[in-house]
A and B are shown apart, each in its own frame.
Chain A
Amino acid sequence: MTSNPQHNTAQDPIVEIERLHVRFGHQLVLREINLKITRGQSLAIIGESGCGKTVLLKTIIGLIKPTEGHVIFDGQRLDELNERDLSALRPRFGLVFQSAALFDSMTVGQNVAFPLRQQGRGDQEIQRLVLARLAEVGLPDSVVSKKPAELSGGMRKRVGVARAAIVNPEVMLYDEPTTGLDPIVSDVINELMMRTRRHTSVTSVIVTHDMRTARKVADRVVMIYPASRLAPGEPQIIFDGPPSELDRAGDRRVRQFVRGEAGERLMEMLQVASQLQGSE
């Protein structure tokens, strides 16, 4: 494990994750995760598909309840809050979903306005803020009346960013923000995340397996490894440091991931495939 003391001991954590375990049935997804995210930090969580990145992100905002351990947000333990208090706390987060998760039945304008309506803001203020936020993500006024189905993937992602950021949250959570987008649109989304952070000094947590995004947007990278393939007692976070150290990471699995080399994973998959063929 490569670690950077400067990142691990930074002051004023806004999110603290302590001894977090998440289990679905008998499947252990997250094992003994300990993580502190400081105010204003831009943290990228990387790792292969199915390693629990999205589960970690959803646990931070309280959408998934931990099996053990807890998440502390701004000094408050999320597991100690009741449903109502948790709902009241959630607008302090902005979550951008992998699929954007825009409401199909609403127009773009209604989607972006949704968090403001939840806060009971007035119609005129809502209209002004929606148009301003859409302009910030580079979308024209004409999209306001369109349905999400009429937009391209990149536009939907940008609407998702506008919706998540409209109430000026303290923490922005991005789930695979560039997945499924072409390199140009991916870079637009990267720029957007950086701009959002510059303008509002928001803390950002970006779940991604796009190394370009991790290097460009993050100032700290954490790599998690699938719990099912860890040795007993081995920590699930196998890298924690600045993006510049990724290529020099002491752990071979980190270097392989960063370079996109299948390595022994390919052999494992081929072995499983041959075993399945043999059993048939």
Chain B
Amino acid sequence: MSSLSQSTTGRVSDPNHRQNPLVEWISDWGGVVVDVIVAIGDFTLFVWRAMIWLFTRLPRQGTLLPNFYQVGVLSLPVVALTGTFIGMVLAVQSHFQFSQIGLETRLGAVINMSLVRELGPVLAATMLAGRVGGAMAAELGTMRVTEQIDALESMGANPIHYLVVPRFLACIFMIPTLTIMADFMGVVGAYFYSVFMLDIDRHFYLHNSREFVGGFDLFVGVFKSLFFGAAIAVISCYRGFHCTPGAEGVGRAATAAFVISFVMILVLDLFLGILLDTIYYAIWPGGAKLFF
């Protein structure tokens, strides 16, 4: 078998055996399509099993709390720092453009709107996909290659229930919480930079922020972060569970967890943004209460 290449579905192609190029092309692309369908099916089953366990039996406190601590408490400094710098960078970048048209005092509205609806949730989730998702995939991948997941199963524990469900719960509860933290720090960072470094009038900065940014904007950001958290958890756990042997396999699982989570965050951001706007305008046509 050494000279043969084998795909995940077990197809074997012999490089020494020449076929019609068209047949080979169709075969290769067919193989890719089958592999993708198998991977999607496998991932869907994985998520389905996690959901079944989530709604049938909650994990013990002893397995839940360490995950909440890992995801929530240990991510707090890095998320706070990210949020603060996003706010300040937004102030720096927006100030020049707004000052050209004499609208510096509107800076607060633009910065805070961007922060709570988009940049806060997306950048916090991206940061957490790297910190939390990568760590989860590496940890579970190591457990897979050192047979610890098999050991769990051999002792009658279900690995999905024991390993995936606590991480999923930690992500869907803590990532929205961390997003609120990132938003808050971003707002504070932007305020301090705008008022104390750029000398923007404090009263108008706050007045415009209050006028243009409402509860729904905050809800949009937090609601999206709930899905970002779920995506990070299931993608990272799946990559860890399906880690290939060796140190290289663990490294690839961690990298893949981050890259796929990041892409998924952006995709979800777009579709959830469209969905939430559609719902909003369906409830309040014309956007009469867009800023309340």
Contacts and interface: CB of A to CB of B under 8 A. Distances in A.
Same complex for A and B? Answer yes
Interface of A: 24-27, 58, 61, 63, 83, 87-91, 93, 95, 97-99, 101-104, 114-115, 118, 163, 228, 272, 276
Nearest to A58: B150
15 contacts: A26-B11, A87-B158, A89-B156, A93-B154, A95-B151, A95-B154, A99-B147, A101-B146, A102-B151, A103-B152, A104-B142, A104-B148, A114-B155, A115-B156, A163-B155
Contacts of A115: 155-156
Nearest to A116: B155
B10 interface: yes
B283 interface: no
Nearest to B161: A87
Contacts of B1: 27, 228
B156 A26 contact: no
Contacts of A26: 6, 10-12
A91 B12 contact: no
Given A25-B9, A25-B10, A26-B6, A63 B154 contact: yes
Given A63-B150, A97-B151, A103-B148, 11 more contacts: A24-B10, A25-B6, A83-B158, A87-B153, A87-B157, A90-B155, A97-B147, A104-B143, A115-B156, A118-B156, A118-B157
Given A25-B6, A27-B1, A83-B158, A90 B12 contact: no
B149 to A, nearest CB: 9
B61 interface: no
B93 interface: no
Contacts of B8: 25
Interface in B2-26: 2, 6, 8-12
Nearest to A110: B62
Contacts of B142: 104
A228 B1 CA distance: 10
Given A26-B10, A27-B1, A90 B147 contact: no
Interface in B135-180: 142-143, 146-148, 150-158
A118 B155 CA distance: 8
A272 B2 CA distance: 10
A58 to B, nearest CB: 7
Size class of the B contact interface (CB-based, 8 Å):
20 to 34
A238 to B, nearest CB: 22
Contacts of B152: 103
- Looking at B1, B142, B148, B154, the one whose CB has the most chain A CB atoms below 10 A away is B154
A93 B155 CA distance: 8
A91 B155 contact: yes
A251 B11 CA distance: 35
B148 A101 contact: yes
A179 B72 CA distance: 41
Contacts of A83: 158
B120 to A, nearest CB: 32
A27 B11 CA distance: 11
A65 to B, nearest CB: 12
Contacts of B143: 103-104
A272 B1 CA distance: 11
Given A87-B156, A87-B158, A118-B157, A103 B151 contact: yes
B58 to A, nearest CB: 15
Contacts of B11: 26
B148 A91 contact: no
A91 B9 CA distance: 33
B146 A63 contact: no
A115 B155 CA distance: 6
A87 B160 CA distance: 12
A63 B12 CA distance: 26
B246 to A, nearest CB: 13
A115 B157 CA distance: 8
Contacts of A272: 2
A101 B156 contact: no
A165 B158 CA distance: 19
A63 B153 contact: yes
Given A25-B10, A27-B1, A101 B157 contact: no
Contacts of A93: 154
Interface in B21-41: none
Interface string B40-80: 00000000000000000000000000000000000000000
B150 A97 contact: yes
